[in-house]
Structure 1
Amino acid sequence: MTDELLTPRQVHADYGFSPQTLANWRWMAMGPDYIKTTPGKGGRIKYKRSTIEAWLEAQTVSVGGAAA
């Protein structure tokens, strides 16, 4: 099974992060890892679905317990 590659528009449709937000995160070196399929400033960007899922899992904050 191959990992699905998503465009920024597909990430927006599936997860709600706008393409501009994703671009801002890339510029600030934060957010989920991405693949640049063509070189240069205008290169095409793709995201692995598994990478988005793992990044979201890492951002999840558990409530309760001693730290709460």
Structure 2
Amino acid sequence: MTNTPQAMLEAALRQMIREEVLAVLAEVEPVAPVAPVPPMRTYNGPRALTPAEVAEKTGFAAQTLANWRGLGKGPAFYKVGRLVRYDEVILDAWIAELRGGPTPKPHKNPTTPHN
């Protein structure tokens, strides 16, 4: 670095600014350290399946599931806003029930024989 008047002035200004900054920092109260953010909790409950996932798992078409929802048939579902979801545990129970065979339903007209 050359000792020109401009270089000497820049060095003097830098030193003055450095000293001024250090003086201001000495007056400022130290900031308490920020508490660490707790880790995100993970949800370990049953999965909420989409109709597409249920269709893949059961082999029934997504449209069939939609038709059943309208008719009140098929696996139990719930809505989150306009999104349809199926509880995985309840779906598995429904599938197990299907594998056990059809459940006989009482005849609607008691005067007609069941043959």
TM-score where L is the length of structure 1: 0.74
Which of 87, 92, 115 is matched with 1:48 structurally?
A: 87
Determine the structure 2 residue equivalent to 1:6. Answer: 49
- TM-superposition CA deviations, 1:7-61 (whole Å, max 9, x none): 00111122212110111111110111101001xxxx2100011111111122222
Q: How many pairs were matched up?
A: 58
CA-based RMSD: 1.6
Q: Which structure is higher in RCO with an 8 Å CA cutoff and minimum separation 6?
A: 1
Partner of 1:36, secondary structure, is strand
Alignment of 1:12-31 (within 5 A): 12-31=55-74
Amino acid in structure 1 at the alignment position of 2:101: V
Distance 1:49 1:17 in 2: 16
- Dislocated runs of 4+, deviation >4 Å: none
Identity within the alignment, % = 33
Determine the structure 2 residue equivalent to 1:66. Answer: none
Distance 2:56 2:94 in 1: 17
Is the Cα contact below 8 Å between 2:47 and 2:88 reproduced in 1? yes
Structure 2 residue 77 is matched with structure 1 residue 34: yes
Amino acid in structure 1 at the alignment position of 2:67: N
More helix by share: 2
